[in-house]
Amino acid sequence: MIPDILKDPGILNLLFSAVVMLTGLVAYWFRPDIFRQHAFAERAFEFWVLKWMLFVMTWGLLTSATDSRFSLATLDLNTVVGFGLVVALWKGDSYDERHTIVNLVFLFGLLFSWNFLAHSLIGVGKAWLYPSMTASLVYISAMAVVIVARYRSTGILFAIASAAYLLLQLPTYQIVFLSQMKADPELVKWLAFAKVLYGVLFYGAFLSPLQSFEALALPSLPLPGERLRRFASWATTAIAGGILVEVTLWAGKHLWHLFMGHPG
């Protein structure tokens, strides 16, 4: 029975997501000292555990042949929760939970609306998935940057794993949601193993000592007016994210075919 389970890429992702989630729940139960001393660290870890709960839900829905719109919505919620994790780590002790939650709800509303609207108007296709893939890429990239900025050398391996994870994850959107599972099921299996590595390296970085608890200083665009700077930042992120999605998809597929010996 176990060998049969290991042959199913969806079940494998479901099981490995559950392993990372349960590891997080055990760590949360013992409440490291930093949780009691700095609320942002506890909120960040809660976002992390919630992310893996949503991974379990997503792969559970996918393996149950649920309407793809609801599976994608769950994955989008996962990404949005990930942004909450990034903000908590970025803001440090100045983290504002109310303001963050409002923005996260707004972002999820945009992705959720596009999911159902685009599915009805243009059907299942790459354009339907594009906002979800872009948001996921931006989150994973931002997560890698913030972990390195916050934990320094301890976070470097996590950042490298994040890049490898992206090369597997973005093509998986198309494989799973565009009914191409038969084309590259092995890639989806490797994504499951990448999840474990990604999770282990996060725990290694997150539970290491922190030297600073202040908000990280991130570069901002030199424009007059807070609203204009915010709009320009969102626009720049969306455009750059869209371009990087294409680059990552191309690189992921070609590297996969190169190393696995499949035709390109």
Q: What is the model's pLDDT at position 242?
A: 72
The rounded Cα 42 to chain-centroid distance in angstroms is 19
Q: What is the model's pLDDT at position 183?
A: 58
Length of the chain measured in residues: 264
In sequence order, the 6+-apart residues with CB closer than 8 A to the CB of 6 are 12
Q: What is the model's pLDDT at position 65?
A: 72
Q: What is the model's pLDDT at position 251?
A: 73
Q: What is the model's pLDDT at position 263?
A: 45
Q: Please state, in angstroms and rounded to a whole number, the distance separating the CA atoms of residues 125 and 245.
A: 15
Reading the chain (264 residues) residue by residue, the pLDDT tens digits are 445 566 788 889 999 999 999 999 999 998 888 888 899 999 999 999 999 999 999 999 888 877 889 999 999 999 999 999 999 999 999 999 998 999 999 999 999 999 999 988 888 888 899 999 999 999 999 999 999 999 988 899 999 999 999 988 988 998 888 865 555 778 888 899 999 999 999 999 998 888 788 888 766 655 555 566 665 665 666 677 677 777 777 677 666 666 665 544
Global confidence as pTM: 0.87
Q: What is the DSSP letter of 92?
A: G
Distance set, CA 90 to CA 85, 86, 148, 165 (Å): 9, 6, 11, 21
Q: How far apart are the first and last CA of the chain?
A: 34
In sequence order, the 6+-apart residues with CB closer than 8 A to the CB of 189 are 9, 12
Q: What is the model's pLDDT at position 239?
A: 72
Domain coverage including residue 242: 2-260
Q: What is the model's pLDDT at position 56?
A: 95
Number of domains in the chain: 1
Candidates 193, 148, 147; CA nearest to 169 is: 193
In sequence order, the 6+-apart residues with CB closer than 8 A to the CB of 36 are none
Candidates 144, 165, 130; CA nearest to 239 is: 130
SS3 state at 245: helix
Distance set, CA 33 to CA 41, 88, 208, 250 (Å): 10, 17, 12, 43
Tokens at 15, concatenated: 């099981």
